[in-house]
Chains A and B, each alone.
Chain A
Amino acid sequence: MNDRIEKRIELKAPVSRVWRALTDYREFGQWFRVELDGPFVPGEVSRGHITHPGYEHVKWEAVVEKMEPEQLFSFTWPHPKSLDKVDIAVDYSQEPKTLVEFRLQKTATGTLLLVTESGFDQLPGDRRLEAFRRNEGGWTQQMKNIENHVAAS
């Protein structure tokens, strides 16, 4: 269950405003701390570089998946093995990728924003690794889960 990260946040701004903050590449860049070369286009690669202090050497490279106005914005992006200057990869194409989805819902006071990042189980190796990442129960329990899973398959 914890192969994904899920966040929800209430924003006191109309859905249309939140949508713009997410999908206008300049606005996105401001709060996400990335300088993007150009607008987001579904199916296309978005490039730029991180402006977060200490991470300016890190490139931004994502593939925009969906842009359903005021509802869903999603992209996939790589998870480099390391963000250290010495061993940062020049080519991200071989790095494992996760899917980031922003979902917007209108509320009485503004917008509910749901963010999920999933696909950590697609990092090289095997889907069953998910069990290792569950926070509950400690390692012994995790191992039991794996054992049962292996026994069942």
Chain B
Amino acid sequence: MSQRRSSRAAKRRPRAPVFAALGDEVRLSLIAKLCAGRPYSISQLTQGTGLTRQAITKHLRVLESVGIVHGVPRGRESLFEFDPKPMEETKKYLNFVSEQWDQALSRLKSFLED
């Protein structure tokens, strides 16, 4: 149970908004572009999407609100950058649940065999 405290800390940030923010094809494609690692400008992200700058900006704001991307000021315009942390937390959550099962099943084993 020693990992429990840190696992709990990892769980503190609500996950559902991250899931919801990703439940959109435009936003997923933005993430797909941004995850390559370098920051992009809104114009670069708009290019080839068939959407307006305003629409792309709106989607970026949703991603920004759950912490998956953040803006970095560069000259007159803002660049956007991918931040994997919230999604790593999602993965941590699965690991946390998985650990709980390991512990519960080992208790079941002792319960039946001891």
Q: Chain A contacts of B111 at CB under 8 A?
A: 21, 27, 30-31
Instruction: Let me know if A139 and B94 touch, CB within 8 A.
Output: no
Specify which chain A residues have a CB less than 8 angstroms from the CB of B23 in the assembled complex.
124-126, 128-129
Partner of A81, one of B1, B16, B32: B16
Stretch from A5-13, A40-48, A66-74 at the B interface:
A5-13
* CB <8 Å contact, A9 and B105: yes
CA distance A129 to B4 in the complex (A): 26
Query: B14-54, CB under 8 A of A: which get 1 and which 0?
Result: 11101111111100110110011100000000000000000
What is the interface size of chain A, counting residues whose CB is below 8 A from a CB of the partner?
45
Interchain CB contact (< 8 A) of B4 among A54, A81, A146 = A54
CB distance from B11 to the nearest CB of A (A): 6
Q: Which of B11, B90, B104, B112 contacts A132 (CB 8 A)?
A: B90
Complex contact A139–B22 (CB within 8 A): no
**Are the CB atoms of A82 and B98 closer together than 8 Å?**
no
Does the CB pair B28–A128 fall under 8 Å? yes
Q: How far is the CB of A56 from chain B (nearest CB, A)?
A: 14
User: Which B residues are in CB contact (< 8 Å) with A125?
Assistant: 16, 18-23
Total contacting residues, chain B, CB less than 8 A: 41
Complex Cα distance A120/B91, Å?
A: 11
**Known contacts A21-B108, A32-B104, A132-B87: A124-B19 contact under CB 8 Å:** yes
Interface residue? B12 (CB, 8 A): yes
Complex Cα spacing A100 to B25, Å: 30
Q: Does the CB pair B11–A82 fall under 8 Å?
A: yes
Give the chain A neighbours of B112 by CB distance below 8 A.
11-13, 17-18, 21
Question: Which residues of A69-109 are within 8 A (CB) of B?
Answer: 79, 81-84, 96
Q: Given A13-B113, A139-B35 in contact, is the A147-B29 Cβ separation under 8 Å?
A: yes
Task: List residues of chain A with CB within 8 A of the CB of B58.
Answer: none
Chain A residues with Cβ below 8 Å from B1 are 53-54
Note all chain A residues with C-beta closer than 8 A to B90: 129, 132-133
Bound-state CA distance A19–B16 (Å) is 34
Chain A residues near B8 (CB, 8 Å)?
Answer: 83-84
CB distance from B96 to the nearest CB of A (A): 10
For the complex of A and B, list the 6 residue pairs with the smallest distance between their C-beta atoms, beginning with the closest.
A125-B19, A126-B23, A147-B32, A143-B35, A125-B23, A31-B111
